[in-house]
Amino acid sequence: MAAEGVTEKRLILRGVFAGAVAGLLAFAFARVFAEPQIQQAINYESARDSAQAVLDKAAGIATPAAGPDIFSRTIQADVGIGVGMVLFGVAMGALFAVAYAICLGRTGRLRPRSLALLVAAGGFLGFYLVPFLKYPANPPSIGHEGTIRARSGLYVLMVVCSLVFLLGAVWLGRRLSARLGNWNAALLAGAAFVLAIGVVMLILPPLGHLGYNRATFGAFATETPQPLRNAQGTIVFPGFPADVLFSFRLYSVGAQLILWSAIGLIFAPMADRLLTPARAVRSDGALVRA
């Protein structure tokens, strides 16, 4: 038991290291590709606020002065996002290592290296990709202050359901494999996962249908800003650019794919060296396991 505890600690340390490196790689990608989309979203928000201020002034509505930014855009884009991505990578690397340690010895004859890649794929799928399909990532200027708590709760619920159903699909596949074979069992388990998570996605409301959004902005599918209109209904400022939204979401998926791929690929050889007994050469030239 003591030896197992030491091994688990070593695995977690390796997961933390892999997560830190993966977070740095994901930040480099996000800094080059996603950050320009964030800047465009911020520019849109500033221009829209100016247009709204003109409409409010014309209607005799007082507009509060905007407060100064606590951190400059340079600090936010470089230090803020960089530190955040690395810390997120460390957290995901630690969780990845814990999941890996739990799966170890319970997955048949899978090699440590192969198991690492499968756990990383499951992490990307369960933690990010499936919740993203229901509640995709949004740049600044999308999302209203009145719905922050509701949006956060819905996203966390989506992540929990995704992970629970994914674990359930793995358990179901293992139970069915002896009777149906690995291929058929995997197909049935995958279909059960898709069905279960699909039901959850249908039940959970779109963000545009939240009570605050309906009362304030009307019934829209999302919180993406609609065109700004004056009192006569004429559009005076366009809605949020679709190409910026698409590009930001695409690069968000890319950054997460890099993060989880790097965690699996960096962790895999380290786990393999730790868990696979070393080979030694006998005096007669034969290879033996130490």
Is the predicted pLDDT of residue 228 greater than 70, yes or no? Answer: yes
Lowest mean pLDDT among 12-16, 159-163, 225-229, 243-247: 225-229
pLDDT of 91 higher than 50: yes
pLDDT tens, residue by residue, 241-289: 999 999 999 999 999 999 999 999 999 999 989 887 644 444 454 444 4
The predicted-structure confidence for 141-199, as pLDDT tens digits, reads as follows: 788 888 899 999 999 999 999 999 999 999 999 889 888 888 999 999 999 999 999 99
* Whole-number percent of the chain with pLDDT over 70: 88
- Pick the closest to residue 125 from 83, 91, 170, 187 (CA basis): 170
pLDDT for 121 beyond 90: yes
The string of pLDDT tens digits covering residues 68-82 is 666 566 677 667 788
Number of neighbouring beta carbons within 10 Å of residue 237: 18
Q: State yes or no: pLDDT of 96 exceeds 90.
A: yes
pLDDT at 2: 46
Q: What is the pLDDT of residue 281?
A: 41
Output b/e per residue, 136-163; b: 16+ Cβ within 10 A.
ebbbebbbbeebeebbeebbeebbebbb
The 3-state secondary structure of the chain, one letter per residue: CHHHHHHHHHHHHHHHHHHHHHHHHHHHHHHHHHHHHHHHHHHHHHHHHHHHHHHHHHCCCCCCCCCCCCCCHHHHHHHHHHHHHHHHHHHHHHHHHHHHHHHCCCCCCCCHHHHHHHHHHHHHHHHHHHHHHHCCCCCCCCCCHHHHHHHHHHHHHHHHHHHHHHHHHHHHHHHHHHHHCHHHHHHHHHHHHHHHHHHHHHHCCCHHHCHHHHHHHCCCCCCCCCCEECCCCCEEECCCCHHHHHHHHHHHHHHHHHHHHHHHHHHHHHHHHHHCCCEEECCCCCEEEC
Taking residues 29-45, report their average pLDDT: 93
Q: Structure pTM? A: 0.88
Q: How confident is the model at residue 5 (pLDDT cuts 50, 70, 90)?
A: low
Whether the predicted pLDDT of 106 surpasses 50: yes
pLDDT reported for residue 197: 97
* Residue indicated by tokens 């695409």: 250
- pLDDT over 90 percentage in the chain: 57
| 8 against 15, higher pLDDT | 15
